[in-house]
């Protein structure tokens, strides 16, 4: 599944792994 990062709020957390949004942005 591809998350649309730009549409997520800055304080969003992954509902599955509970990782903060910025963790996903670092992986990109």
* Enclosing domain of residue 18: 1-28
In this predicted structure, the answer to whether residue 1 has a pLDDT above a threshold of 60 is no
Sign of the torsion formed by the C-alpha atoms of 21, 1, 3 and 14: negative
* CB contact set of 24 (below 8 Å; sequence gap of 6+): 3, 5, 14
pTM for the model stands at 0.24
Report the domain count for the chain: 1
Better-predicted residue by pLDDT, 10 or 28: 10
In this predicted structure, the answer to whether residue 24 has a pLDDT above a threshold of 60 is yes
- Reading the block at residue 27, the tokens are 């992986």
User: What pLDDT does 25 receive?
Assistant: 63
Q: Is 14 helix (H, G, I), strand (E, B) or coil?
A: coil
């Amino acid at each position: 599944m591809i998350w649309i990062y730009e549409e997520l709020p800055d304080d969003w957390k992954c509902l599955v792994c509970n990782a903060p949004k910025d963790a996903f942005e670092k992986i990109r």
